[in-house]
A and B are shown apart, each in its own frame.
Chain A
Amino acid sequence: MIDSLILQQGSGWRAQAEVFDEIFFVFLALGTLVGTIVVAYTLWNVYKYRDDGNRSDEKFDAPEVGELPTGQGGPKAKKLFLSFGLSAIVVISLVVYAYGILLYVEDGPDANGDNIEIMVEGYQYGWEYEYPNGHTETGEMIVPADTRIDIAVTSRDVWHNFGSSELRIKSDAIPGDTNTNWFSVSSEEVQAQGGEATYMVECFELCGPGHSAMEGQITVVPQDEWETWYEGTSGNSSNVEGGAGVDGAASIDAAIGGASA
């Protein structure tokens, strides 16, 4: 798996969702395997050594009330250490593997200066996005395809968590603190979704009575379309409640913005 990762590095970076799917698959497969073996082994032995009244008394040394424990090591300690050693190998290789993936996700792809930095500010109950030109948008974040989007997430009131399950990104939004993350959506993906890819944003940290409905949206459009839209914003804010008020260059679902109000 580490190999597959390193090979990928030359030919362009994978989206976080792909990385997640890979590591999730590895853990799930391994977890299911180990769990099945251990549980099956246990069940089989419990059945095998059930007290059916037909066992001979030879070799069976029944404990007595009031005895002090003897044989602290126990004759089966060897077997115990074998199992322990095996699980240690599994666990340590998982740590190493997970660390490799972590470095990948933390760094993100090379930006080459083409990245776009967007400030995300959570509030009770919605999200506000600020673009490099000062334009602000509520509810819906519109970004271009094939571009690394860097988000800097913070909060204006309580602790929120900005997350999109489909994009597999998540960031705590902590008042007084700024958290960074990145994502990138390919133009193939945008085409596959009909020229405009939309991803739901939810709040993943309890933030008050309106938490449940604190939603937003990330809309990914082709680069040229986005540039047209972005030029039209020219630093104006669209702080109208409901998140609409942007020009029609891009098809924006105004109803989504501030749905949580």
Chain B
Amino acid sequence: MSELPPTTSVKRWFVTTNHKDIGILYTITALFFLLFGGVLALLIRMQLWDPTSQILSGLAYNEAVTAHGLIMVFWFLSPFGFGFANYFVPLQIGADDLAFPRLNALSYWMYLFSGILLGISFFQGGTLDAGWTMYAPLNIPMYTPSIGSTGAVLALFMFVVGVTASTVNFLTSIHHSRAEGMGIMDMPMFTWSMLATVWMMLFAFAALLAVGLILASDRVLGSVYFSATEGGSLLWGHLFWFFGHPEVYIVFFPALGVMLELFQTFSGRRLVGRKWVIIAICLISVQSFLVWMHHMFLTTINLEIKTLMMATTIGISLPFDLVVFSLIYTLIKGRIQFTTPFLFAFGALLLFILGGITGVFLGAIVLDYEFRGTYWVVAHFHYVMFGGATALFGGAYYWFPKVTGKMYDELLGKLHFVIFFISFNMVYFSMFLGWETPRRVFEYNPEFQIYHQFGTIGAFVLGLSFFIMFYNFAKSYVSGEPAGDNPWDYSRTAEWAISSPPPLENWPNRPSYASGKLEFVKDYVPDGGPAVKADADGNAATDGGDSHDEHITEYPYWDKHPSHASIWPFTLSLGLGIMLLGLSGFSESLSFALGDSIATTTMTVSNPVYPILVVVGLIGLIGSGVKWGLEDFYAPPSEFAERWPFEGVEKVKLGMWFFLASDVIVFGAFLSAAIFVRYNAGWMTWEPLTESLPGLINTFVLITSSFTVILALVAAHRKSRQGLLASLGSTIALGFVFLAIKLWEWNHEIFDRGVTINANAHGDPIQASIYYVTTGLHGIHVIIGLVIAIFLFVRAYQGHYMDDERPIEYFGLYWHFVDIVWVFIFPLFYLF
């Protein structure tokens, strides 16, 4: 580990793993993407000014529409909320940092580099132009051939990888690091909203990751999922909207959390029916996964399922009703202070009420039939998502004094709100008035021109209003009044109990709510407690419930300080970014001419730049990964933490479980895709492409390797270095045997049977694609497992893991998971 440089040093911002620094980075980057997406929106609005003249070509207009949607949904809304979450969730729960600080930095850098990749895609022959929903088969190279389209898809993939890391991190933090005495129902509402958000993200983004991987495979490797007429289009629809509907709440909930906080702070009242609000939020999170087909009412879904989806969709408005009423009743009998943050939060509520009511319209199928693809939808989701984001701007004003220590200018803030609120309604209410205009169309019926012109004027005013905010923040940061620790009269949450800005490690002493309110306690040595060491200052540390004495020896507390700096998250993300940039032009730069065998197959490189980028990026990626693994980075688990419902689970193990849960959804999506397409093609018309014997052998090989991992854990536990090396070695050897059989099988399929990723001499080409992509994804998991196993083997050879076998255990969890997946793949591709 290295020391964290001061905030004035540029280097700090590349190496920091501190949650507050990363929160600031997220917020500023998200505001940049707000401008980026906003400029694209203004281009769209200019095109809509006059239905008969164009400033953009049809292609360029579609690119603007697509990039605007992608940027605002993915690169602005969520990261803006996560900027606050990074900064304030650890403070609100009384933690020193997030559970995995380096992973947090990794999430940020993945986010930034994925955004840069998206920016670059504009210059790779034009970015994607298939709409942010990317409906199949418009999203495949046959219809969107530019390299930039592939670049945009890979950028989204990278973004999702970062999001997954972030999700695991927040779930582990909130479930594992709450201060003593803070039960799960005691968490501040912003933290509660974020908890619900990350739970939804865990499953929703896994589905997006899967569908993104399939699309990337179609675009880079040439598989034929989404051009398949055996349900390819609908496959995209289902997988995308299974992600897409929870995503609406994923971007809205952080804003809702801010509203719930601000309504309390600026009315001096506690939330009405708090328990019921929390229950409603949980209910919405679950229900959000049961409504996705309302985006597909006009596809060929049968009446029963449509009716069910209508009921769940209109029904999901009920828990929202409860939350809205609770917000309103919280204000009653309060002392409402019309500060800028409150105005934004209150404005957000009004906008959300309108967005919610118009959403109920869309839930009724007959109405949806007519609203589908029109500006009614556009207006509705802007009221919900951007209306929600209005509260996030309130959050920015609310927490600005805490982050900077300076007060913003109240008059300018109110001016911003007034202009924002009026122009917001100009833009989006005019869309309701001209709702019969089809979406993404600029040659519309001139009857509606007056509404669109009104909206365009509003859009420019709306865009300019943000410069009041930027000016306000910049000026206040430089020369604002000192804000003090707690500038608000009725704030409750812990971030207001410490200085502004908070110190690096947040707390003067250990925060505890054990007495019913926040106190900073100096720890004493508990009577008879195990493994307690006191440092020079008299502070003490205990290992909490899950005691690992060896751990203490490895990290003696008295000369070991938590780490806050690592460069490897940055370099690892950079490596992945370069590799993905290379992959975007990969299929255009390389071509294969298939011979009779692997020896006579030739590869032609027409443009060496992209393949070189892939290799360079991959080297950077693996190199950084190894460095990361070797780095001595110390992020101790919180002692005395509230951990319901995961009390007995150690931190890294909990993170591993969350990650595996999301990976279950990824494989679930791949297997569902295989089943869905096969069902559409006629189940019995497909025979297995492969012979079952190699698959059977591989099944035994993998199951045996799971067994040897258990032996490795036992050996490490018994401190037998020989045993550990032997059993880890066997695992690695079995892994290679598996891959060798796999390679033989693929070789046999390709050269002896004429089955390649997009051609099938024995049936539908899509069957071949599914076979290669699904078993390939599993193969990649095996390869990643082997890389980790080899890393562990070398470290074990050097004598590690004798005192702390947990890395072996966590690797084992992953390896077992990969083996279990195979148990599902084997019957589907080899037997039936």
Tell me the A residues contacting B by CB distance below 8 Å.
19-20, 23-24, 27-28, 31, 34-35, 38-39, 41-42, 45-46, 49-51, 55, 60, 62-74, 76-77, 79-81, 83-84, 87-88, 91, 94-95, 98-99, 101-102, 105-106, 124, 157-159, 161, 163, 165, 168-172, 174-179, 200, 202-213
Contacts and interface: CB of A to CB of B under 8 A. Distances in A.
B758 interface: no
Contacts of A83: 321-322, 325
B62 A206 contact: yes
Interface in B715-753: none
A95 to B, nearest CB: 5
B446 to A, nearest CB: 12
B138 A208 contact: yes
Contacts of B439: 204, 206
B311 A95 contact: yes
B442 interface: yes
A203 B373 CA distance: 9
B63 to A, nearest CB: 9
Nearest to B139: A158
B336 A65 contact: no
Contacts of B186: 68-69
A23 B366 contact: yes
- Ranked nearest first, the 6 interchain pairs of A and B with the lowest CB-CB distance are A176-B229, A66-B518, A204-B373, A209-B58, A72-B275, A98-B364
Given A49-B333, A49-B334, A101-B366, A205 B373 contact: yes
Contact of B273 (A23, A73, A165): A73
Contact of A69 (B270, B314, B365): B270
Contacts of B353: 35, 38-39
A70 B388 CA distance: 27
B497 interface: yes
B551 interface: no
A239 to B, nearest CB: 23
Contact of B492 (A65, A74, A101, A179): A65
Interface in B345-402: 346, 349-350, 353-354, 357-358, 360-361, 363-367, 369-370, 372-374
B59 interface: yes
Given A65-B492, A91-B315, A212-B58, A80 B300 contact: no
B518 A65 contact: yes
Nearest to A172: B298
B11 interface: no
B354 A35 contact: yes
Nearest to A84: B322
Given A207-B138, A212-B441, 10 more contacts: A65-B497, A66-B517, A73-B276, A76-B332, A79-B329, A83-B322, A165-B374, A172-B296, A206-B440, A209-B62
Contact of B443 (A23, A79, A213): A213
B129 A209 contact: yes
A63 B367 contact: no
A218 B825 CA distance: 50
Q: Is the interface of A mostly helix, strand, loop or mixed?
A: mixed
A179 B331 contact: no
Nearest to B94: A66
A114 to B, nearest CB: 24
A28 B65 CA distance: 29
Contact of A64 (B337, B354, B438, B517): B517
Nearest to B332: A45
Given A50-B338, A99-B307, A87 B270 contact: no
5 contacts: A41-B328, A76-B273, A80-B272, A80-B326, A176-B232
A51 B335 contact: yes
Contacts of B334: 49
Given A72-B185, A161-B298, A174-B300, A95 B366 contact: no
Contacts of A41: 328
Given A19-B366, A163-B373, A84 B270 contact: no
B233 interface: yes
Contact of A99 (B310, B324, B326): B310
Contacts of B131: 206
Interface in B450-508: 486, 489-494, 496-497
B326 A27 contact: no
Among B186, B267, B321, B497, max chain A CB count under 10 A is at B321
B273 A80 contact: yes
A65 B496 contact: yes
Among A39, A69, A169, A203, max chain B CB count under 10 A is at A69
Contacts of B374: 165, 204
B373 A42 contact: no
Contacts of A158: 135, 137-138, 143
A76 B270 contact: no
Given A66-B492, A69-B271, A27 B373 contact: no
Given A176-B232, A206-B65, A209-B59, A66 B335 contact: no
B185 A212 contact: no
Contacts of B229: 175-177
A70 B185 CA distance: 10
Nearest to A96: B311
Contacts of A206: 62, 65, 130-131, 133, 135, 138, 439-440
B58 A211 contact: yes
Contact of B264 (A45, A63, A65, A95): A63
